[in-house]
Amino acid sequence: MRASFVQLISALGHFFTSRIDRLGLAARFAGALLVSLSIALGRLPLMFREVYFSGVRSLSIVAVSGLFVGMVLAVQGYEVLQRYGSAESLGVIVALSLVRELGPVVTALLFAGRASSAVTAEIGLMRATEQLAAMDMMAVDPMSRVVAPRFLAAIFSMPFLAAIFSTTGVIGAWIIGVKLIGIDDGAFWSQMQANVDVRIDVLNGLLKSIVFGTAVGLISVFEGYFAAPTAEGIATATTRTVVISSLSVLLLDLLLTVMMFRGLS
Amino acid sequence: MNRSRFDFAVGLFVAIGLLAMAFMALKVGNLAGFDSGTGYVIEARFDNIGGLKVRAPVKSAGVVVGRVESIGLDAETYEARVLLRVYPNYRFSKDTIASILTSGLLGEQYVGLESGGDPVYLAAGDRLGKTQSAMILEKLISQFLFSKAAETPAKAQ
Amino acid sequence: MTSFHESEMIALKDVCFSYADRPILNGIDLTIKRGEIIAIMGGSGGGKTTLLGLISGRLKPQTGSVLVKGLEVPNLRQSELYGLRRKIGMLFQFGALFTDLNVFDNVAFPYREQTNLPEEMIRTLVLLKLEAVGLRSAKNLMPAELSGGMARRVALARAVALDPAVMLYDEPFTGLDPISVGIIGRLIKRLNRALGMTSVIVTHDLNETLRLVDRVVVLSQGKIHRDMAPEEIRSTDDPFIRQFADGLPDGPVPFHYPGRDYWSELMDQ
């Protein structure tokens, strides 16, 4: 009885120390990454190549998802709003939901699944096949040549993708609300414009997506860099990237929302 | 894949992204009308502002002419001190009345401005002389009930 | 710059290395002269690859000194280490070609990263190196389209791109067919003579190795077991080397993973 209690306590201890170990590792990794950023920023073509693989290749899924999310929001929103006789507010509801929350958050989740998991697998495989070691032996720092460009590409791509998601979302809501349901076109846009603030809503939304891009980018390169050099290790690392990125995005979103929008309307 | 195709694809991506940002700024939001730096600020005091919020619209004849900039309480008079930022292209006379109104029965509250006949216009930092506080639904109901209660015994006699 | 002689390219003195609490190398003294080709042999997990890691500065020894070209490798700062590594080439076990670049770009990588040469000059140099390994016509293939032997030859061309003074080979013959083994062996020898490099080959392949090296260092249990000329290996009666050379399953290196006696474990039930 006592033995099992001790076991439980030490298992609990192990659970936390191993996680804190990993956090420490991540912090040291982030520090090294930060140092290598200056070199990577001097070679932007390397980053743009990764923007192609991460950002451009995610464009279609983000745009289509945005359109559908906007349409669903419009159908659901209209259902509730017309009970209170304020169906013209549909544009406001949809636009604020998209610009403040769904745009940055859903884009980051899609990005984690579409692009970051691939980055983790790629870096993990490069490590397993000694490509990073070979680079290091050729006196080329893999941190600034391989890791940093992929990290920067996530930060760079995310705000554009979030803006595209929100835009197609608003267009989707407009198609449902104005074209299919028949809400007045003028009221739809004017209510939206009267209630969406560029600085508070749009800029904060983009700021969120930059923070998410940083988090998702860091997690994906970290998990790839420290993936065990086996098939199973890379599979585990890829899963971890998606799970940890998604949870981090949602947690960060809560913190940022409280900081940005508390005390407003 | 060669370099120029990357460049083209990334360039196109950035262009679409910027276009989306412009759409959000100009079509979804209203960049021109919402720049909090422009216009002039006037002050209005109310006994009760009800549910008025910062950024609520300021309207005149139903047209949005500004925004509520800030809300505070005067520690001495216990009046609500509301700063209104009015867009620079609108001018109002000195004796303008500000009232807190509700759009619809349950809609958001806004500040309505009703211009008077004074030839002198309000300038930045001026305080509005006449204001009308928000209608508080509970107060209205209780007033109604009290007056009913006051009427009933009189009828019975 | 302790006791550095012009002819000494690599000098290890009393080097000890361990991973956590598992000792790998225990007091290694080894001097490799300029232009020499030496083979490092020994059982799996015997610290051969670790030795290459120490020479290239990828690993730091717990104690002892590692001198390469007169520089104390463990004490070098990152920039100095990278300066040294421009003069060290390494061929990895499976080539480690960059899978997202084609053959040409793989060999061009060191030039593009380390030099400011114009692209036409790089093209000439890359074709020269590819010609040397016989794969000039494969320049547009991706690494996934190459056979194991071809990938190893491309990797070799990439490793010697900057004409290094020291070449390190990590199991260059592993997983190759006999013809490819012969080709790689001949290339190692030829490059060594043509460029005057010092070569360190970590390998299991006794036959091919004995044909091209000047000296064989046999590692056992973290120490240098023997250091001898290739002809001696063939005739020695050292039981460890005999087991290694003749491929005997049991000998000083036991067939069984160390553990309890077979019978006593069976009798447990």
Burial of B21 (0-12, 13-18, 19+ CB in 10 A): buried
Of A79-83, A116-120, A253-257, the least confident: A79-83
Distance from CA of B13 to the nearest CA of A (A): 6
Domain membership of residue B74 (yes or no) is yes
Please give the residue range of the domain that contains residue B121.
40-140
In the predicted model, what is the mean pLDDT of residues B86-102? 87
Mutate to test the interface with A, among B13, B54, B111 (most CBs of A within 10 A): B13
Tens-place pLDDT, residues C145-159: 998 888 999 999 999
Tens-place pLDDT, residues A50-67: 999 999 999 999 999 999
- By the CB < 8 Å criterion, does A101 face chain C? no
Instruction: Select the more confidently predicted residue: A124 or C183.
Output: A124
A55 with B10: Cβ contact below 8 A: yes
Residue C177: closest CA among C196, C197, C205, C198:
C205
A95 with B28: Cβ contact below 8 A: yes
Please give the residue range of the domain that contains residue C102.
8-246
Q: What is the percent of chain A where pLDDT is above 90? A: 63
Residue B51 shares a structural domain with residue B25: no
Distance from CA of C109 to the nearest CA of A (A): 9
Domain membership of residue B127 (yes or no) is yes
Instruction: Return the H-helix or E-strand segment holding C165.
Output: none
B57 with A194: Cβ contact below 8 A: yes
User: Six-digit token pair at C92?
Assistant: 């990895």
- By the CB < 8 Å criterion, does A206 face chain B? yes
Q: What is the pLDDT of residue B50?
A: 81
Task: Give residue C168's pLDDT band: very low, low, confident or very high (50, 70, 90).
Answer: very high
pLDDT at B96 over 50: yes
Tens-place pLDDT, residues C216-236: 888 887 888 888 888 888 777
Residue A153: HSE in the Cβ half-sphere, 13 Å Cα cutoff: 32
Residue B15 shares a structural domain with residue B51: no
Q: What is the percent of chain C where pLDDT is above 90? A: 18
Domain membership of residue B9 (yes or no) is yes
* Sign of the CA dihedral running C145, C148, C153, C158: positive
In the predicted model, what is the mean pLDDT of residues C175-193? 86
Q: How far is CA A106 from the centre of its chain?
A: 7
Q: What is the percent of chain B where pLDDT is above 70? A: 87
Residue B92 shares a structural domain with residue B133: yes
Rounded CA separation A45/A56 (Å): 15
Q: What is the pLDDT of residue A54?
A: 92
Q: Do chains C and A touch (3 or more CB pairs under 8 A)?
A: yes
Q: Do chains C and B touch (3 or more CB pairs under 8 A)?
A: no
Q: Find out whether C7 and C34 touch, Cβ atoms under 8 Å.
A: yes
Domain membership of residue C225 (yes or no) is yes
In the predicted model, what is the mean pLDDT of residues A31-41? 87
Domain membership of residue B151 (yes or no) is no
A99 to chain B: closest CA residue: B24
Q: How far is CA A91 from the centre of its chain?
A: 25
- In the sheet that holds C71-72, the strands lie side by side as C22-33, C8-19, C63-68, C71-72
Task: Give residue A170's pLDDT band: very low, low, confident or very high (50, 70, 90).
Answer: very high
Q: What is the pLDDT of residue C262?
A: 81
Domain membership of residue C268 (yes or no) is no
Residue B3 shares a structural domain with residue B61: no
Count of domains observed in chain C = 1
Residue B10 shares a structural domain with residue B72: no
B18 with A160: Cβ contact below 8 A: yes
Instruction: Return the H-helix or E-strand segment holding B40.
Output: strand B40-46
Average pLDDT score, chain C: 85
Contacting residues of C for A131, CB less than 8 Å apart? 96-99
Pick A197's closest partner by Cβ from B3, B9, B29.
B29
- By the CB < 8 Å criterion, does C87 face chain A? no
Instruction: Select the more confidently predicted residue: B10 or C8.
Output: B10
User: Six-digit token pair at B13?
Assistant: 């991506």
Instruction: Return the H-helix or E-strand segment holding A222.
Output: helix A204-225
Domain membership of residue B155 (yes or no) is no
Domain membership of residue C257 (yes or no) is no
Q: What is the pLDDT of residue C3?
A: 45
Residue B83 shares a structural domain with residue B47: yes
Residue B62 shares a structural domain with residue B107: yes
Can you give the C-alpha Rg of chain A in angstroms?
Answer: 22
Rounded CA separation A85/C118 (Å): 71
C81 to chain A: closest CA residue: A139
User: Six-digit token pair at C82?
Assistant: 């990278």
pLDDT at A240 over 50: yes
- Residue at C126: amino acid letter: V
A126 with C99: Cβ contact below 8 A: yes
Average pLDDT score, chain A: 91
Tens-place pLDDT, residues A103-126: 999 999 999 999 999 999 999 999
Other beta carbons less than 10 A from residue A86's beta carbon: 17
Count of domains observed in chain B = 2
Tens-place pLDDT, residues C43-64: 777 788 888 889 988 888 888 8
What's the CATH code of the domain at C33?
3.40.50.300
Tens-place pLDDT, residues C55-108: 988 888 888 888 888 888 888 888 889 989 988 999 998 889 999 899 999 999
Q: Find out whether C189 and C212 touch, Cβ atoms under 8 Å.
A: yes
Residue C11's SS3 state is strand
Contacting residues of C for A135, CB less than 8 Å apart? 98
Q: What is the pLDDT of residue A265?
A: 47
Domain membership of residue B154 (yes or no) is no
Task: Give residue C248's pLDDT band: very low, low, confident or very high (50, 70, 90).
Answer: confident
Q: What is the pLDDT of residue B106?
A: 59
Q: What is the pLDDT of residue C2?
A: 43
Residue B108 shares a structural domain with residue B129: yes
Q: What is the pLDDT of residue A76?
A: 94
